[in-house]
Amino acid sequence: MLLSWIISSVLLAIRFWGAKLNRYKNEMTEKLKIEFLDHLVLTVADIVRTCSFYTQVLGMQEVTFGEGRKALQFGTYKINLHQYGREVEPKAQCPMPGSADLCFITSTPLEDVAHHLQACGVDILEGPVQRTGARGTIDSIYLRDPDGNLIELSNYGESSQKSREEIS
């Protein structure tokens, strides 16, 4: 009988605190709103080669920060670079070159992008193809960076222009 009472009490406490925890998590989820991505980190095999590709092919700017760390700047965004095997702590659980899949939006027409990529000796894997971006339909070209990361260069279509303006 005592054991039955203890088990009932424990189950009741679990239900009570579980419900309380769920309410708290729901309240926090409603309060916590992510606004935008500030930067991301790419782990790369060769920082110099990566900087060369992203600056010469994709038009980003190489920047140095902290104690000689490298990053790639475009617009108000930044890609921090970690050298494989010498990553900065804290780091991703399994940092590996070539494991990223990134989509960059450009206002340059994709036909011009394709000509530029060909002039730079960069193979186009696929495209132009239509995809769904974060704010609507996009037309995309796919390529790989020197580490094998999948890079998608995209334009929003006219129908997506309205949705982007509505979101802003």
User: Which residue in the list 89, 111, 152, 165 is annotated as catalytic?
Assistant: 152
Q: Distance between CA atoms of 108 and 153, rounded to whole angstroms?
A: 10
Q: 26-54 burial, b for 16+ CB within 10 Å, e for fewer?
A: eeeeeeeeeeeeeeebbbbeebeebbebb
pLDDT digits (tens, 9 = 90+) for 62-96: 999 999 999 999 999 999 999 999 999 999 999 99
**Distances from the Cα of 138 to the Cα of 93, 97, 122, 127, angstroms:** 32, 27, 21, 11
Conformational region of residue 150, where left means phi above 0, alpha means psi within -120 to 50, and beta covers everything else: beta
Would you call 89 a catalytic residue per the annotation?
Answer: no
pLDDT tens per residue across span 121-143: 999 999 999 999 999 999 999 99
Q: pLDDT tens across 3-13, in order?
A: 777 777 777 77
Cα separation, 119 vs 3, whole angstroms: 78
Q: Could you give all domains of the chain from N- to C-terminal order, each with its CATH number? A: 39-159 (3.10.180.10)
Q: What is the DSSP string of 117-139?
A: HHHTTPPP-EEEEEEEETTEEEE
The pLDDT tens digits for 38-69 are 999 999 999 999 999 999 999 999 999 999 99
